[in-house]
Every structure is written in structure tokens, then in C-alpha cells.
Amino acid sequence: MVTRSEVRQHASTASCWVIIDNVAWDVTDLIQWHPGGSDAILRYAGKDVTKTFHALHAADTLEKHMKPK
């Protein structure tokens, strides 16, 4: 299990993780092609983005584009 402290350590373009629904996700590969631009991802790097993510994305986005840590 990945801790929140560990997720906070991954807050850069080299290694970018976020928490969604209490699960850590490695979103590093999404930085280059995210439709909202890299800033949209990096702004939340290393943080819990559950509320923001669900407000902006379809329910199946996680399974289609990301893998949990």
C-alpha cells in the first residue's frame, strides 16, 4: 500500500502521482498529452485530487488511461 507521504514525494514531471478515491495513481505519462495541458496535471501532483477529478472527468477515465500504484 502506498502512503500519502510517499505520493507527496512524486510531484514532478519525472514522477507524478496523485490520489483518487484513496488509490495512488501514476499519471507521469499523461503529462505530455493531457487535453488540459501539463499544468492541469502538475498543479495537483502529489495530492489528493478526488473531488477535482470527478468534477471534470467521465467515470471510466481511470480505467482507460491510468494504472494504480
Q: For residue range 8-47, what is the model confidence (pLDDT) as tens digits?
A: 999 999 999 999 999 999 999 999 988 889 999 999 999 9
Number of Cβ within a 10 Å radius of residue 55: 8
Number of domains in the chain: 1
Task: Determine contact, residues 40/49, Cβ cutoff 8 Å.
Answer: no
CATH number at residue 41: 3.10.120.10
Domain of residue 59, residue span? 4-68
Residues 6 or more apart from 48 whose CB is under 8 A from it?
4, 18, 19, 20
| β-strands 17-20, 67-68 pairing | unpaired
β partners of residue 51: none
Residue 65 has pLDDT above 80, yes or no: no
Grade residue 61 by pLDDT with cuts at 50, 70 and 90.
confident
